[in-house]
Amino acid sequence: MHIQYIRGFLIIGLALCAQDASAFISAPYIAPANPVDGDTISVNVYRDECDVLDIGIVPPAIERHGSHIKALFTGIHEGDPEWCIYGTGTETVSIGSFPSGSYTLDVERRYMWIGGEWIQETLGIVPFAVSGGRLQPPLEAPTLSVTGFATLCLFLLAAALLRMRREI
């Protein structure tokens, strides 16, 4: 019987010590969503206050092998919630422009862990396609010509006259 009380107090005590989870990085996505030839493509990653994707000191390493693009970012990951000071937001980093075709973007980041060792992880793989050129704006085309509009008016007038004759 006393074990049940101790177990209950232990569960309540541990629940009161729990902290909110604040370490997250969402899947990367590109902007613009439908790039065309000549557009500068950037990768966007939504992150929490414990992570930074690009610290600005080391530029991202972007390698392209055919249609496979690999972007390696040097960032910061803080494991102690007391030191999570970076703010929540979206990191946006330009990766360049590409000719038309289908591509696969492999987004990875690395950060230094305690003890000086590098940890590298894949944030996501984003397939995308670059279209050949700018789309022409749609042309406005009238649905009826003057002759078609006059014919429509005559039919409506004839229908109205027939309806009025039936009611008389």
CB 59 within 8 A of CB 65: no
Q: Would residue 71 count as lying in a domain?
A: yes
Q: What is the pLDDT of residues 98-137, one digit of tens each?
A: 999 999 999 999 988 878 889 999 999 999 999 886 666 7
Closest CA to 50 of 27, 28, 24, 73: 24
Residue 70 predicted with pLDDT over 90:
yes
Q: What is the pLDDT of residues 27-68, one digit of tens each?
A: 999 999 989 888 899 999 998 888 888 767 788 889 999 999
pLDDT of residue 125: 95
Q: Would residue 57 count as lying in a domain?
A: yes
Q: Would residue 16 count as lying in a domain?
A: no
Q: Would residue 137 count as lying in a domain?
A: no
Residue 19 predicted with pLDDT over 60:
no
Provide the residue range defining the domain that includes 112. Answer: 21-130
Residue 15 predicted with pLDDT over 80:
no
Counted domains in the chain: 1
Q: Would residue 65 count as lying in a domain?
A: yes
Q: Would residue 146 count as lying in a domain?
A: no
Q: Would residue 69 count as lying in a domain?
A: yes
Distance CA 84, CA 75 (A): 14
Cβ neighbours of residue 38 under 8 Å, at least 6 residues apart? 97
Distance CA 61, CA 49 (A): 24
Residue 22 predicted with pLDDT over 60:
no
Quote the pTM value: 0.63
Name the residue with higher pLDDT: 122 or 82.
122
